Amino acid sequence: MGQGFLQIGLTLCIVIAITPVLGRYMARVFLGEKTLLDLLMNPIERSIYVLVGVRKQNDMTGWQYVRAVIYTNLIMGIFVYLLIYYQRILPWNPNGFGVPKWDVLLHTTVSFLTNTDQQHYAGETTLSYFSQVAALGFLMFTSAATGLAVGIAFIRGLTGRRLGNFYVDLTRAIMRILLPIAIIGAIALLVLGVPQTLNETLVVETLEGATQYIARGPVASFEMIKMLGENGGGFFGVNSAHPFENPNGATNLIETIAMISIPAALIYTYGIFANNIKQAWLLFWMVFVIFVVLVWVTAVGEFQGNPLVNRVALEQPNLEGKEVRFGWAQTALWAVTTTATMCGAVNGMHDSLMPQGIFSTLLNLFLQIIWGGQGTGTAYLFIYLILTVFLTGLMVGRTPEFLGRKIEKREIVLASVVLLVHPIIVLIPSAIALAYPISLSGISNFGYHGISQVVYEYASAAANNGSGLEGLNDNSLWWNLSTLVSLLGGRYIPIIAILLLADGMSRKPTVPETRGTLRTDSLMFTTVTAGVILILGVLTFFPVLALGPIAEGFKLAAGS
């Protein structure tokens, strides 16, 4: 037990050490200050701007930024759909894969476009190497960069700056952050045993004389951007539980840190933009404490194991659905991290988690701010901060202010849209699916666990996470089309509201600070914010949690 928690603790210490370094670097990138990569990247970026007709100095309004995001994503989606549709005649298809079913193809394209990467297919038996790299790999960079650009635009607006230019932000996010780190990480994974090849599936004869097919491909490059960009879609069907995606403890450590590094560092980046490092660290520790509690709850549940199994055998941790090279501790940490960061990659089967683990992963998907998605998670965190300012302002009878700007009706309406769209596109489709448990849902585990399976699938889609409680018959027309609503609604409605809110805040005049001004960089205010987050998040989804993992936990404890 001690060794497992020590592994978790050391991983978290590395994350804490990386946060100010990466956060400071990202701030310099998006503030247009000098960085070590200028000599290499400046000429490349200037060529890109000339090619697409963009001027760096042309700032966008909120609606202009929104239109740029939507139009760019629409063009990229059509492009990738066509690439996969014609994969049979395109290169790097040594296994001769044809066209996937139209509903699977549409779901896959939208899923990767929205940085969700929810997979209703097995990559090694469906897509060519060209489709994996040139289509899905392309979207892994651009969708992550889109979220990062939106998060930075939101931070600019909150701190009184113009929103910037989406095309410039997108280019900088890819060229100066995602691509350099992905290249270094991919080389490290390659050295540690992750394959990178264009050769076809390997056919070998086993010792028993049987024939075995070993899928392989350009995995190392795919794997790193999958983790760094909070994408999560696996090259293989079992994702990072596959030994070619995640062969040992060293690769597991690299991939875990890659998942959490950018979302955690973005909070520090905000502190530099706002010239308030104190508030950034307070918010960081608030999120960190909630995260650690959820990791502890999950890890303890996995270490104690299944009481029904332990009654008839020696007491042992819950090792069902886990890779022995990681064990209960690293699987528990990964499960909470991948749902906290909206990455969605898995190194063990979440369907086999104890109820405590399912509770933690679902709560992460419901809250979306621990640590949250690439860029957008940081924006959601400050949405809660704005609501807390509004609520505390009402309590003391003052006009709420944040960073010297008044919070008024428009900001509260847009913040409410961001928070309300999530439960709507999770709970309503879940209710419809649960009304038809066999014909629509394809539930493999009935009762409380079956409820969790269905709700998890929609929560994962709406939160742009992509993981799932596998065992659900999700490769069907119903799931492929119904989750599209959650994928699109969970991605673009909040982005529109976030950008419009930031645009409005950037145009507000600053209000002089007085003795009665509520300071948001205090421990008390941060504690109140944590309370608001938990109350709003937990109360909204409490009936689902009560009917799912909580009820399942009580049932196991009762021995039934």
Burial of 214 (0-12, 13-18, 19+ CB in 10 A): exposed
Domain tally for the chain? 1
- The answer, yes or no, to whether residue 72 has pLDDT greater than 90, is yes
- 205 DSSP β-pair partners: 211
331-340 pLDDT, tens digit each: 999 999 999 9
- Residue-level pLDDT at 241: 94
Burial 32-61 (b: 16+ CB within 10 A, else e): eeeeebeeebeeebeebbeeeebeeeebbe
> Quick one: average pLDDT of 53-70?
90
Q: Name the percent of the chain lying above pLDDT 70.
A: 99
Instruction: Find out whether 4 and 328 touch, Cβ atoms under 8 Å.
Output: yes
Q: What is the rounded distance in angstroms from the CA atom of residue 425 to the CA atom of residue 241? A: 30
Cis peptide before 371 (omega within 30 of 0): yes
Mean pLDDT within 348-377: 92
Please give the average per-residue pLDDT across 234-245, as a whole number: 93
What is the reported pLDDT for 516? 65
For residue 395, is pLDDT > 80? no
**Using one digit for the tens of pLDDT, what is the confidence trace for 103-114?**
999 999 999 999
> Taking all residues of the chain, what is their mean pLDDT, rounded to a whole number?
91
How confident is the model over 466-522, as pLDDT tens digits? 999 888 888 889 999 999 999 999 999 999 999 999 999 999 888 777 766 778 888
CA distance 146 to 133: 19
**Residue 217 has what pLDDT?**
92
pLDDT of residue 13: 95
pLDDT given at position 216: 92
Task: Work out the pLDDT band at 400, boundaries 50, 70, 90.
Answer: confident
Which pLDDT score, from 0 to 100, does residue 29 have?
Answer: 95
* Count of CA atoms in the C-beta half-sphere (13 A) of 312: 4
Share of the chain above pLDDT 90, in %: 72
Strand-pair category, 202-205 with 211-214: antiparallel
Average pLDDT over residues 9-35: 95
pLDDT of residue 105: 96
Q: Which of 28-42, 147-161, 217-231, 431-445 has the lowest mean pLDDT?
A: 431-445
Contact 132, 234 (CB under 8 A): no
Rounded Cα distance between 203 and 186, Å, is 26
Mean pLDDT, residues 251-271 taken together: 96
| Mean pLDDT of the 19-35 span | 95
Residues of the domain holding 218: 2-557
Q: What are phi and psi of 76, to 5 degrees?
A: -65, -40
Contacts 24+ apart (CB under 8 A), 319-322: 320/349, 320/352, 321/348, 321/349, 321/350, 321/351, 321/352, 321/353, 322/348, 322/349, 322/352
Q: Residues 176-192: what's their mean pLDDT?
A: 96
Give the model's pLDDT for residue 184. Answer: 96
Angle between helices 376-396 and 277-304 (to 10 degrees): 110
253 closest CA partner among 9, 2, 24: 9
pLDDT of 513: 72
Name which of 202-206, 470-474, 539-543 the model is least confident about: 470-474
pLDDT at 1 over 70: no
- Dihedral over alpha carbons 515, 516, 521, 523 (to 10 degrees): 110
Q: DSSP readout, 184-219?
A: HHHHHHHHTT--B-----EEEE-TTS-EEEE---BH
pLDDT of residue 560: 62
User: In terms of DSSP bridges, do strands 401-402 and 405-406 run parallel, antiparallel, or are they unpaired?
Assistant: antiparallel
Among 139-148, 396-405, 440-449, the minimum mean pLDDT is found in 396-405
pLDDT in tens, 462-480: 999 999 988 888 888 999 9
Residue 305 pLDDT greater than 90, yes or no: no
Q: What is the mean pLDDT of residues 28-54?
A: 91
Residue 19 pLDDT: 96
CA distances 139 to 174, 232, 461, Å, are 11, 12, 17
pLDDT of residue 440: 75
Question: Which range among 62-76, 415-429, 437-451 shows the weakest confidence by mean pLDDT?
Answer: 437-451
**Model pLDDT, residue 254:** 96
